[in-house]
Amino acid sequence: MSGAAELVRYELADDIVHVTLNRPERLNAVIPALVTQLVSALRRAIDDGPAVAVLQGAGTSFCSGFDLRYERGERTEQEHRRQIDAVQDVTRLIRRADFPVVSAVQGFALGNGCEFALAADLVVAEQDATFGFPEVGWGLSVTGGVSQLLVQALGLHRAKEMLLVGERFGAEQAQAWGLVNRVVPTGKLDAYVRELTAELAGRPREAVARAKRALDLVAAGPLEASLVVEVEHALLSGKSTETARTITGFTTESGGGPG
């Protein structure tokens, strides 16, 4: 990425890819260039064909959501649509990959960050991690297929509560609801993820791919339908919330953290 900031790091070693959101000074808050680099990294991983991939955040947080300090400037509806599509491509690419993708969550996973984390095949979180979807409170819309994925995981009424009320929730609550696979003590995330990815990498690759593909087929049709609806809702939200300074149709209270 010569001449551009490395907002997403890509590393391949021992048949395991690590994709790292790399804006730790802003709690890995999302800006358009970060989404572009994340999509490119996921496409590169699919081309490389590792045994497993890890999606993680540098520093103290996984991803605190869209960066409210980002000055987006003027944009056409076509540009806005492309930006929303790019965010949704994160979910599409994770689902398309033949290998499992593990999200390793510490600190905040809010808005965009929560969507990125939950799009993964397996979610591991530190005990003090915080999740949430504050979009509706800002007059904005969720994307990334979350409207369908949450209903599938939680049931309709719990999903509505999560999106309409928008309260933050911890890792243990997320695990109780079935959104997180494992909760580990604070400071033990990297060690546990190393053990998990080594175990996954040692399993028969074709069998893992077939199992993932079979399970994802259950959600494939409804997920694409939800992505289409989310784009239209995000476009409408963007038109009615220009003062929220968001380019993807949603944001978070954290605004990328203090500082």
CATH number for the domain harbouring residue 129: 3.90.226.10
Give this prediction's pTM. Answer: 0.84
- Mean pLDDT (whole number) for 87-110: 96
Determine the structural domain holding residue 157 and report its residue range.
8-188+205-244
Q: Give me the chain's average pLDDT, please.
A: 85
Lowest-pLDDT choice from 70-79, 207-216, 233-242 = 233-242
Q: Distance between CA 128 and CA 189 in Å, rounded? A: 11
The band of 249, judged by pLDDT with boundaries at 50, 70 and 90, is: very low
For residue 195, being part of any structural domain is answered with no
Q: What is the pLDDT of residue 82?
A: 80
For residue 169, being part of any structural domain is answered with yes
Say if residues 127 and 228 touch (Cβ distance below 8 Å). no
Domains in the chain, number: 1
- Written as six digits, the tokens of 188 are 């033990």
Q: Distance between CA 107 and CA 144 in Å, rounded? A: 21
Q: In the chain, which ranges are continuous DSSP H helix?
A: 32-48, 77-96, 112-119, 146-154, 156-165, 171-177, 189-201, 205-240
- Written as six digits, the tokens of 125 are 């979180």
pLDDT at residue 37 greater than cutoff 50: yes
215: CB partners within 8 A, 6+ apart: none
The band of 244, judged by pLDDT with boundaries at 50, 70 and 90, is: very low
- Written as six digits, the tokens of 208 are 């893992």
For residue 120, being part of any structural domain is answered with yes
Task: List C-alpha distances in Å: 50 to 14, 55, 101.
Answer: 9, 13, 10
Say if residues 66 and 254 touch (Cβ distance below 8 Å). no
For residue 95, being part of any structural domain is answered with yes
Greatest Cα pair distance, the chain, in angstroms, is: 51
Q: Which one, of 144, 142, 126, lies nearest residue 252 by Cα?
A: 142
The band of 119, judged by pLDDT with boundaries at 50, 70 and 90, is: very high
Lowest-pLDDT choice from 105-109, 189-193, 214-218 = 214-218
Q: What is the pLDDT of residue 51?
A: 98
For residue 218, being part of any structural domain is answered with yes
For residue 251, being part of any structural domain is answered with no
Which amino acids are annotated catalytic? 135
More confident residue, 155 or 217: 155
Percent of the chain scoring above 70 in pLDDT: 79
For residue 253, being part of any structural domain is answered with no
Each residue of 47-89: pLDDT tens digit?
999 999 999 999 999 999 988 787 666 767 777 678 788 888 9
For residue 194, being part of any structural domain is answered with no
